[in-house]
A = this chain, B = another copy of it.
């Protein structure tokens, strides 16, 4: 089935998508404010419980629950580690699945930067060349794809 997006130029049938729609699945898995804030800190390099709690501003209970859920979903890994002469500790590290959520998180930031007055903007840049970075849709031929040129099939 194909759909041409934007303005209803072409449309799907009228069946609802149901709960296996990947957008719905993702929202049910990681679509809470606390999960996104925890991910934000993980991208910034945070790995320890206390730091997640302190930097997100979430309570310890919420932090604990969200970390556990993210581990169960395979977005983070909980790994024991022990520095010589120190007691055992745990760290939470991003998995490949967690890395793959980066465009979601920074696309949210980009939207607020450009369309929400309450936000204190952040800027992304490429460490290699210093050029500013945006999150966008691009095709395999290297074309930036705007919504009017986007086709969805399933």
Contact = CB atoms under 8 A, between A and B. Distances in A.
A34 to B, nearest CB: 9
A19 to B, nearest CB: 8
A33 interface: yes
Interface of A, secondary structure class, is mixed
A47 interface: yes
| Number of chain copies forming the complex | 2
Interface residues of A, number: 96
Given A8-B45, A100-B114, A101-B111, A122 B27 contact: no
A119 B6 CA distance: 24
Contacts of A136: 103, 135-136, 138
B141 A137 contact: no
**Nearest 3 CB-CB pairings of A with B:** A8-B45, A22-B112, A126-B139
